[in-house]
A = this chain, B = another copy of it.
Amino acid sequence: MKHQSILDRAIQANHERSFFAQYPEHPKAYGEEGMQAGLSNVKSFFNNFYNGLLQENMNASVGEEVSPYTQEALNIRYPSANPEVYIEQAKKAFASWKKTSKEVRADILIECLEQIKTKFYEIAYATMHTTGQSFIMSFQASGPHSNDRALEAIAAGYEALNAYSADVLWEKPMGKFNLKLKKDFHAVPRGIGLVIGCSTFPVWNTLPGVFADLITGNPVIIKPHPKAVLPIAIVVEEMQKVFKSFQIDVNTVQLACDDSSHLITKVLCEHPAIKLIDYTGGSAFGNYVEGLSGKTVFTEKAGVNSVILDSANKIDDVLGNLAFAVSLYSGQMCTAPQNFFIPENVTTAEGPISFEEIAEKFKVAVSGIANNPKMGPGTLGAIQNELTADRVKNIGNLGKVVLLESNSITNEEFPAARTCTPTILACDTSDKAVFEQELFGPIVLLIKTSNTEQSVSIAKDMCEKHGAITCAVYCTDAVKSDWIKDEMESVFAPVSLNLTGFIWVNQHAAFSDFHVTGGNPAGNATFTNAAFVDRRFVWVGHREVIA
């Protein structure tokens, strides 16, 4: 196997959970000379029909992307077809893909990643102009980090397929003779997988499900968010080219584009031939998907992430870190914190500090990032969806004290960019109706509590009822922080303790962090443990008498 050594290292890294990055995250590792070419290649897609996909029998076109940076339509048309076309083609592709050995599948899939790598710049610019992420986040999240998460899924899947003997001669002592049976154990793929993408991380959230399905023998139909197609289209094109070069049916992975006015997601979800569904997006639709019968479903839905501030060494380091965490991509990451539970007084090595003083310092820290012309635009990026900008603008309607108003900022490169600086509201514990909802976007609620016990109790309750993907805790007392970790893990929320400096609660890395635990309402699966792959196929054991 050409890529055996990559696969072996990935399997080992997956178990060790220590730092491993097959795809370096810095653009310079990929030859920065490709950067300009990547940009002009992406621009050549604008105002054109996207004709790189190899999938067959497309007879219509759709497209409605708008760049959050220019607020102009990209005018890209993507090929599309009736949902039944994708299903029929996937069925056909399934017949041969399921017969392809796991070794060959692994080799082809890792080769896909290697080819995707050659398009990281294109994917980055495509991500910028659909999601509003900054260039550097677009590059990292949709490029190397996505590839690493895909490789993690390949590794986990490959290992799961090897869990049991492929065949065995079974001899059972029967007294005077041995009964002999030949047994074959087959990992039989479940069927066609549907992967439903989201608008903010159209590659990162899509690839784990795609590669988990494929390594375990299932063909995939990707239904991208109609507003964020280009980055995943470039990925699918590369994959289809690799499939073709291996003489594998190109329809083993298909991109099924639709239009907001005529969505095909439910038609695909409810199709009896669809056996596996991976979904990233809002909770309402996620709950619908989880409720479908006869489907194996993996979801990442919305959650309400908490910060629990108990004590700190240097409060400025804490608030600086948190200010960056809420500013990064303008709070549009599923891992961004929203609810800050802060007691009346916080103990620090520099003495006690009141809720009000913390609020004031936090305002300054957040404004400092947003209003710094060198830092602001690259940190905040742009707002993907007009509705998010509206939510921020109308935040005063919640009736709470607005400690920091949201503004737009100047992005010199993109004067028309849709931007919103973070807004900060003050609440108290009686404002459950306000803080129990996900207020997607750059919205922070500072919630004054009596003490840390109350902070934890409410954060836990929120997580149990509404889900959480992350929880940032600041606590300098080891016994107390162990207690907080215990409490939060009882509702399956991972705790990031005392993060300061160059690591933020938002960041989850392949081969190391389990993204979404799968234990609370924020989602039912995780990237990537064994359960993320081993339900995508079924062990079937045949047996035969040997004379």
Contacts and interface: CB of A to CB of B under 8 A. Distances in A.
Interface string A280-293: 00000001001101
A181 to B, nearest CB: 7
A396 interface: no
A172 B495 CA distance: 19
Nearest to A520: B538
Contacts of A402: none
B19 A171 contact: yes
Residue from A164, A531, A544 whose CB has the most chain B CB atoms within 10 Å: A531
A513 B543 contact: yes
A30 interface: no
Interface stretch (A185-193, A258-266, A356-364): A185-193
A499 interface: yes
A168 B494 contact: no
Q: Is the interface of A mostly helix, strand, loop or mixed?
A: mixed
Interface in A204-253: none
Interface string A37-78: 000000000000000000000000000000000000000000
Interface stretch (A10-18, A125-133, A420-428): A10-18
Interface in A476-512: 485, 489-490, 492-503, 509, 512
A17 B513 contact: no
A492 B542 contact: no
Nearest to A535: B531
A535 B526 CA distance: 11
A85 interface: no
Given A17-B165, A183-B17, A502-B179, A492 B535 contact: no
Contacts of A164: 14-17, 529
Interface in A125-173: 160, 163-165, 168-173
Contact of A170 (B169, B512, B526): B512
A501 B183 CA distance: 17
A1 interface: no
Given A188-B490, A497-B544, A519 B538 contact: yes
A539 interface: yes
Interface string A518-547: 110000001001110011001111111100
A517 B189 CA distance: 12
Contacts of A15: 163-165
A174 interface: yes
A299 to B, nearest CB: 12
Contacts of A169: 18
Nearest to A497: B544
A514 interface: yes
Contacts of A291: 293
Contacts of A493: 540
Contacts of A543: 494-497, 499, 513
Interface of A: 14-19, 160, 163-165, 168-174, 179, 181, 183-186, 188, 190, 287, 290-291, 293, 485, 489-490, 492-503, 509, 512-514, 517-519, 526, 529-531, 534-535, 538-545
Given A496-B544, A517-B538, A529-B539, 6 more contacts: A15-B163, A17-B183, A183-B513, A514-B539, A519-B540, A531-B531
